[in-house]
Amino acid sequence: MTKGYVYDYDYRPEMLVAPHYKIPVMGPEFKLAKAYVPYQVFQKVYEPMKGLMKGTIFPELCRPYVKTKHRMEE
């Protein structure tokens, strides 16, 4: 089994990039050159009609889009 990437406490990604970026450490089970999306675990669901109107029954996956203004209105 290939070993995960292990970080030195004093030499972590967050310290090596511009301060407005947050790059928290991912533990040794996460490998370089691989992408990871966090796994969802469902807690509650919207009731069916509300879910249909929102586009999902899972509140944690609800990401509404706020329309940007038309140029004309600015």
Positions in the binding site for other proteins (CB under 8 A)? 1-2, 31, 34-42, 45, 48-49, 51-58, 61-65, 67-68, 70
Q: How far is the CB of 61 from other proteins (least distance, A)?
A: 5
Q: How far is the CB of 22 from other proteins (least distance, A)?
A: 20
The residue to which tokens 């509300």 are assigned:
50
Output phi, psi for 8, to 5 deg.
Answer: -70, 135
Q: How far is the CB of 12 from other proteins (least distance, A)?
A: 23
State how far the Cα of 26 lies from the Cα of 32, in Å rounded to an integer: 10
Structure token digits, residue 25: 């450490």
